[in-house]
Amino acid sequence: MGFREAAEYHLNRAIKFLNLNEDTAMALLEPRKSLEVTFSVRMDDGRVRQFKGYRVQHTDVLGPAKGGIRFHPNVDMDEVKALATLMSIKCCVIGLPYGGGKGGVTVNTKELSESELERVSRGFIRAIAPIISTDKDVPAPDMYTNSKVMAWMVDEYSVIKQVNEFGVITGKPLSIGGSAGRNAATARGGFFVTRAACQKEGIDLKKAKVIVHGFGNVGGHAARIFAEEGSKVIGIADSKTAIYDPNGIDIKAALELKAKTGSLKSYTQGQKLTPQELLECECDILVPASLEAVITEENAAQIKAKMIAELANGPVTPEADEILNQKKVILVPDILANAGGVTVSYFEWVQNRMGYYWTAEEIDEKLEKLMCKAYEDIYNFKQEKNCPDYRLAAFAIATNRLVQAMKDRGWVS
């Protein structure tokens, strides 16, 4: 099942659970606006290349569309539509005044110089400028984009509009309206909801053995935060190398090594495994923080974790979901677990609009409050509605909120 099919599968489960009519289902499954663009960029060697880009606004029933921009060779309209739909659900899970948006450019950034990357970034924002603004659609970083790319984009948009409009893009550097706490927001938000789930499910987080699969920005921060909060991180993995050590891994040393060499390959302690093998090691909490579909029907039966907290997008396939549910594995779904990023993006947008900025401590406090409330809402919904798993409960509660707004505005009956 592909990524878009998986997104539609989960949304259709919620539609069926809520017993929604066909017209309402169509309003949820089909995006309000999809834009495909082709734009020209002059490369360093003088030739002019054409790039394909996409921006999808799933809905604006609750407020502007919100969602990242990814640069990747596999970006296409189907993927962007699926991600925009999931962003609507994610924003509704947390209770943010946004609809879902997503964008992307079909490009391999590893083949670009920095100046070419800047020209692609500026070219894309020029192409989609007519449909974005602080009040219409607010992009942010995603796969292979970052705060530097967002800075170029917000600068280009400001040139077009002839006014600084910092709130049109989030995930910016602090110097031009970025928010404190943004870099670690996804990981910290994931920690907050995992801690809340552990309290409900009877897992002692201070004694928990944790495996973090993925050691990029999100996974690296997650491993650090879990270790700082007293958990024993016994496994970490980047794209090629996994380290397993039942005595616990020195996360600070691993992060320094990764920053210096770009890899975990030369980490000397513990046992070297493949990233796939690490997924199947025994632990209390498994944190997939790398790619989509790393846990499938092929390996789900071998998963030995008591709890899975999905910091990546779609790391567990629908087929694997069923197997894990049968095994009674507690699964904290991605639309809740990794919503810390969009939540702090929301804080950044609010700060830009106010022209008043909060400290990192204030951001963390607000993030914890929203993430924990969202978990409580989902937990209570699951109990009250006899919902079989957290993922369905999260999709159902978010879908219910979207549909209520659509009904109140007269979009559906």
Active site residues: 102
Q: Is 232 helix (H, G, I), strand (E, B) or coil?
A: strand
Residue with tokens 């993925």: 214
- The alpha carbon of 381 is separated from its chain's Cα centroid by a whole number of angstroms, namely 23
Instruction: Report the first-to-last Cα separation within the chain, whole angstroms.
Output: 32
Encoded tokens for 359? 């400290």
Both tokens of 403, joined, read 């549909």
Cα 244 from Cα 65, distance rounded (Å): 41
C-alpha gyration radius of the chain: 21
How are beta strands 271-273 and 242-244 bridged, if at all? antiparallel
The answer to whether the CB of 168 falls within 8 A of the CB of 134 is yes
Q: Return the structure tokens found at 96.
A: 């943010």
**Pair of tokens at residue 238:** 């980047």
Residue 110's CB: how many other CB atoms inside 10 A? 7
CB-CB contact of 66 with 80 (8 Å) = no
The three-point CA angle 147-364-61 to 5° equals 70
The residues, ordered by sequence, that sit 6+ positions from 114 with a Cβ below 8 Å of its Cβ are none
Task: HSE, CB side, 13 Å, CA atoms: give it for residue 65.
Answer: 27
Distance of CA 375 to the CA centre of its chain: 16
Tally the C-alpha atoms within 13 A of residue 104's C-alpha that lie toward its C-beta.
23
Q: Is the alpha carbon torsion for 150, 155, 159, 163 positive or negative? A: positive
Rounded to whole angstroms, how far apart are CA atoms 273 and 279?
A: 10
Retrieve residue 97's tokens.
């005044």
Per-residue DSSP letters for 181-205? T-TTHHHHHHHHHHHHHHHHHT--G
